[in-house]
Structure 1
Amino acid sequence: MNKLRAVLCGYYGMGNGGDEALLASLLQMLPPQIEPIVLSGNPQQTRDRYKVTSCDRKSLTSVVQALRQSDIFIWGGGSLMQDATSPYSAFYYGGLMKLAQVMGLKTIAWAQGIGPLNRSVTCWLTQQALKNCVGVSVRDRGSAALLHQWRIPSVLAPDPVWAMESEAVPGLWDLPAPRVAVNLRSHPLLTPDRLTVLTRALIDFQKATQTCLLLLPFQASQDLAIAQTIQPQLPGFSKILMLENPQELKGVFRGVEMAIAMRFHGLIMAAAEGCRCFALSYDPKVTHLMDELEIPGWELTDLPPDSHQISQTWLELYANGEALSTDQIHSLVDRALMHQDVLRTALRKL
């Protein structure tokens, strides 16, 4: 079969470890006949890291040129069509997909989390874009239910990052053991008072366990300052690990006993590597993951004000908690590969 070019569109090259993991997963799952062109906020970094063609996602001229050279347009994972913060994200991604369709490209919505959609215009735009796709896959039941309501066929499968290959982190095993990973991100729900309570709980937890705490920013602009605030207050050994390679970011969790995480993909990576997890939810997607996998945790709105209660809960999980079983992990990985089947099926339609 002749090579086909595909424009991959997502929140790539923006310094977010979770979205980079989605790109790495998509590139891993792309059929060999497809040659990718990645729209990126940092095209040079994307070219160097993944050895692919990349262009500036903000340059209309470059994007249109990429579309003219291509046969396929792919929304590449994540919650692209949502208007919770503003409608601009939905206008950008929905507008690009409609442009691709007008230009004659076949379009695929891959591993999407649809919504929330609170505005009629963004809801309509999402519907119009999706109904003309040759393949649609979603990563959560809410999105699948919405598309069923719209009579748009879709495949429901776990997030593709479950199936992303991980890589060893140089120097990780030289750090003191046992190790516990911590990932917090800035968010209006993580108020200064709640951050103070969590920091006190981490201090108590480290004193009781003598663990090495690894602070893992997934996005420097949102996570690094919090890690830098927490680290000087910790009584034992700790390290801030800033990893740009998403496979290495997942690989960190091979070498830790437990993870305390806010970020959705932080929890997925940890659980996929057989790590005990504790969730701090700021978003419905994290809450749904907690419910689906029975991950212990709190929504930030329900976080206890008593740091001792929090640290005791973590100590109980550390001493007696269980990670997902090998069978559970294998099942999730196998089902996540259904997103790859959507790509193959769409390719056959071409």
Structure 2
Amino acid sequence: MKIVISGFYGLGNTGDEAILESIVDNLKDELDHPDLTVFSLSPKKTAGTYGVKSVYRGWRHDFKGKVKALREADLLISGGGGLLQDTYPTKFLFGPLPYYLLIVFLAKLCGTKVMFFSQGIGPVNSTWGKILMKVFANMANFITVRDQHSKDLLHKLGVNRPESVVTADIVFAFQKKEDTACIDSLPLKGDEKLVAVSVRPWFQHTDHYKQIGRALDQLIEEEGITPVFVPMEGHHDVKASNFVLDQMKHGDRCHLLGPDFLPNQYLNFISNCELTIGLRLHSLIFSALVAVPHIGISYDKKVESLLKRSGMWSYSFPLETLDAAQLVENSKKVLANHAELKAMIETNAQGMRRDALENIDMMKERFLK
């Protein structure tokens, strides 16, 4: 079976690279020698890392390569991740939402079937974005989404022609391989109470840096934790991590991982932590995947949806209401009830893993010749 995979790949985002690795590993396990081509911004790196073919994803280069790949393919997998949204500026043909929908349109022109795969939909607030969704998203043959909010939004936007099914983020089917590169890179003694911290920039919001910094200082003093910042999108998250460190009295008792580790290496590191405090969705998914209790700071419905499914929403916060004192109190509760919460998360994650694998099973049922 020949499959083209379209997503936010080759740009160094740990969550998206984890999505790609999960898709590729599971397709190779479930299909007989699949012929996989990934549209990537770094095609040589993507091909070498995942053992696939790869074509440059942008419109300005190798358009013929994209057309050739789609004409020869049995299926376009669009996803996973939050591709169809207009949080970032969306113009006539520019922005993530028009790009991914035009790839869908191109696939249909080439006679190729399309599956939206484990996607998180929205937000879609612009008039132009809503028009694009109604016109082009209805061209898909089948849709799986990672949460109920995404399915509800599709219907609200008028995307009703293809069947849509709620599954889970495909990263819950990630195949973890033992790797100690992250923890080996840190000057640790081995008896630290490690807390993973994942922060990111989010438009005009900056108060979360101060609130997290204050909370970490207090937790260092009162709980003896060792915070380790996990930058899941390269220099963007390194910069955000340093903003937090600049607010802290005890920044010298924290560590910052390098920005170039692989998703599997970050996942292995998080598995050694007592707690994760995270903004990045996939830092929380990684935590749930290895049953590490986590406190999320939700900047988007997709984060809230994940936290409700993992069972940790009652300990977490919308970004706008984040408060250092409450974060300290919730962190202490989580640490005090660590074993109980770990068991709960493990059970919930097993359910989400089964749901994630449904993405592959349903793809086979509908498209395997």
CA RMSD of aligned residues (A): 2.2
Query: 2: distance between equivalents of 1:194 and 1:144?
Result: 30
Equivalent residues of 2:104, 2:139 under 8 A apart? no
Q: TM-score, normalised on structure 1? A: 0.90
Query: 2: distance between equivalents of 1:199 and 1:170?
Result: 27
Cα 1:148–1:229, aligned 2, differ >3 Å: closer, same or farther? Answer: closer
Which SS does the other structure have where 1:76 is aligned? strand
Paired position in structure 2 for 1:90: 97
Paired position in structure 2 for 1:219: 233
Which SS does the other structure have where 1:242 is aligned? coil
How many percent of aligned residue pairs carry the same amino acid? 27
Cα 1:302–1:48, aligned 2, differ >3 Å: closer, same or farther? Answer: same
Mark the runs of 5 or more structure 1 residues left unpaired by the alignment: none
Q: Could you list the per-position Cα deviations for residues 125-152 of structure 1 after superposition, in whole angstroms to 9, with x for gaps in the alignment?
A: 3234333333311111122224456433
Amino acid at match of 2:327: I
Matched, 1:194 2:208: yes
Query: 2: distance between equivalents of 1:46 and 1:345?
Result: 28
Equivalent residues of 1:181, 1:216 under 8 A apart? yes
Equivalent residues of 2:71, 2:111 under 8 A apart? no
Paired position in structure 2 for 1:54: 54
Equivalent residues of 2:104, 2:140 under 8 A apart? no
Paired position in structure 2 for 1:105: 112
C-alpha deviation, 1:114, in angstroms: 1.8
Larger deviation: 232-241 or 338-347? 232-241
Query: 2: distance between equivalents of 1:221 and 1:326?
Result: 32
> Which one of the candidate residues 265, 285, 303 is aligned to 2:282?
265
Amino acid at match of 1:73: L
Paired position in structure 2 for 1:333: 353
Q: Could you list the per-position Cα deviations for residues 270-321 of structure 1 after superposition, in whole angstroms to 9, with x for gaps in the alignment?
A: 01101010011111211222233331111111122xx344323322222234
- Shift >4 Å, 4+ stretches: 171-174
Cα 1:290–1:170, aligned 2, differ >3 Å: closer, same or farther? Answer: closer
Which SS does the other structure have where 2:228 is aligned? strand
Which SS does the other structure have where 2:211 is aligned? helix
C-alpha deviation, 1:33, in angstroms: 4.4
Query: 2: distance between equivalents of 1:81 and 1:263?
Result: 18
Paired position in structure 1 for 2:262: 245
Query: 1: distance between equivalents of 2:129 and 2:254?
Result: 48
Equivalent residues of 2:7, 2:79 under 8 A apart? yes
Paired position in structure 2 for 1:183: 198
Amino acid at match of 1:8: I
C-alpha deviation, 1:211, in angstroms: 2.4
Q: TM-score, normalised on structure 2? A: 0.86
Query: 2: distance between equivalents of 1:209 and 1:77?
Result: 38
Equivalent residues of 1:214, 1:240 under 8 A apart? yes
C-alpha deviation, 1:254, in angstroms: 1.5
Query: 2: distance between equivalents of 1:171 and 1:139?
Result: 30
Alignment of 1:118-197 (within 5 A): 118-148=125-155, 150-151=159-160, 152-171=162-181, 175=188, 176=190, 177-188=192-203, 190-191=205-206, 193-197=207-211
Cα 1:146–1:225, aligned 2, differ >3 Å: closer, same or farther? Answer: closer
Cα 1:334–1:229, aligned 2, differ >3 Å: closer, same or farther? Answer: same
Equivalent residues of 2:290, 2:346 under 8 A apart? no
> Which one of the candidate residues 61, 65, 69 is aligned to 1:66?
69
Query: 1: distance between equivalents of 2:346 and 2:275?
Result: 16
Amino acid at match of 1:179: L
The count of corresponding residues between Structure 1 and Structure 2 is: 343
